[in-house]
């Protein structure tokens, strides 16, 4: 089944490239203030999560990588994080 493996490899590479492009567009579209706000919140949230789950030694990525991961995560769950993902906010259930 090398055809399936090759297809999946190409598919996953294309999805990674698409995600990279969407995250980079989101970052480029931010104002300086928005970027600073996202940067500080992302890094602090990441650090707090790492500290809470700390079991042993770990490597903490650079700030830019943390911001990238947070934006990618928000875009993955755009209905939950509409501000970062750029999706319209969903109606409240209440």
φ/ψ bin of 79: left (φ > 0), alpha (ψ from -120 to 50), beta (otherwise): alpha
What Rg value do the Cα atoms of the chain yield, rounded? 16
Residue 86: is its pLDDT beyond 80? no
**Segment 22-57, tens digit of pLDDT:** 999 989 998 888 888 888 788 878 877 776 676 666
User: How far lies 56's CA from each of 52, 59, 63, in Å?
Assistant: 11, 10, 21
Q: What pLDDT does 88 receive?
A: 61
Q: What pLDDT does 55 receive?
A: 63
Average pLDDT over all residues of the chain = 80
pTM score: 0.58
Comparison of pLDDT for 43 and 16, the residue scoring more: 16
Residue 11: is its pLDDT beyond 80? yes
């Amino acid at each position: 089944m090398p055809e399936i493996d090759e297809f999946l490899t190409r598919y996953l590479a294309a999805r990674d490239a698409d995600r990279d492009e969407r995250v980079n567009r989101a970052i480029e579209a931010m104002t300086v203030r928005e970027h600073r706000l996202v940067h500080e919140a992302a890094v602090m949230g990441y650090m707090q999560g790492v500290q809470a789950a700390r079991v042993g030694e770990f490597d903490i990525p650079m700030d830019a990588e943390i911001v990238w991961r947070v934006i990618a995560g928000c875009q993955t769950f755009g209905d939950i994080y509409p501000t970062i993902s750029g999706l319209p906010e969903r109606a409240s259930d209440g």
